[in-house]
Structure 1
């Protein structure tokens, strides 16, 4: 059987140059002692370490709304997040914050996890699909 440990080390070293923070909201409210109001509980950080962020375009064909039923092609921007195997499972609707990145324009952007991570019979890394959530302008 093929030993995958060398592939894992290669993937982590060369495909995961960035640092991310993955957080998850509980959906529960907590009491704010200062105001006495119920406010959403702060999200819990479930992972904070190395990752790789890669753009991915998805082409979608759907029927148009006209009578002719012609297909309309749409291109949606999406992103793949590569994580090491030891990272905890990432859930749909978790939030990913780019903390450090080779591409400095990525730092501070947040993404929403749009699908559960992929699994494989020969796991080398984790692949999670993202949608861009928020782009914070970089102060100059």
Structure 2
């Protein structure tokens, strides 16, 4: 008999070696008592803990340039694996890599590109990300 809990535990141990912090903008402002100005409120922490970050597929999208023209852009997509216990991530949530086996990944941020995938027999959560804080490769 298939024990989904054991498969989930295995995937967490072997496929999620990194630590991430996932936050979501509340869209609200808060009063800064020092200046009296309204500033964006602190983001909501959605997930803080285990994850696995893997290079995925190339994503192609179009966006409007500052002159109104459309520009084709190719960006690397990433797949992030999360435990089943992780909260549902929404588009535009921000992912910060806090600890990782690959030291160059630490400190990078990503944007959740789509709602997480679902399955009839879930063993982990899968979310697609786009790079957020990397320079575009113009070479």
Q: How much does 1:2 deviate?
A: 2.4
The runs of at least 4 aligned residues of structure 1 exceeding 6 Å deviation read none
For structure 2, list consecutive stretches of 5 or more residues without a partner in the other structure: 63-71
Q: How much does 1:88 deviate?
A: 0.7
Partners of 1:61 and 1:24 lie apart in 2 by: 23
**Other-structure match for 2:113:** 114
For structure 1, list consecutive stretches of 5 or more residues without a partner in the other structure: 63-72
Cα contact 1:108–1:135 (8 A) shared by 2: no
Q: How much does 1:75 deviate?
A: 4.9
Query: Helix, strand or coil for the counterpart of 2:80?
Result: strand
Q: TM-score, normalised by structure 2?
A: 0.83
Kindly report the root-mean-square deviation, in angstroms, between the aligned alpha carbons of the 2 structures.
2.2
> What's the CA shift string for 1:45-70, capped at 9, x where partnerless?
111101000011226599xxxxxxxx
> What's the CA shift string for 1:16-41, capped at 9, x where partnerless?
00000001110011111111111111
**Other-structure match for 1:55:** 55
Q: TM-score, normalised by structure 1?
A: 0.82
Partners of 2:36 and 2:61 lie apart in 1 by: 50
Cα contact 1:57–1:75 (8 A) shared by 2: no
Partners of 1:61 and 1:28 lie apart in 2 by: 29
> In 2 relative to 1, CA 29–19 (structure 1 residues): closer, same or farther, beyond 3 Å?
same
Structure of larger gyration radius: 1
How many residue pairs align between the two structures?
Answer: 126
Aligned ranges for residues 55-74 of structure 1 at < 5 Å? Answer: 55-58=55-58
Partners of 2:83 and 2:114 lie apart in 1 by: 17
Query: Helix, strand or coil for the counterpart of 1:26?
Result: coil
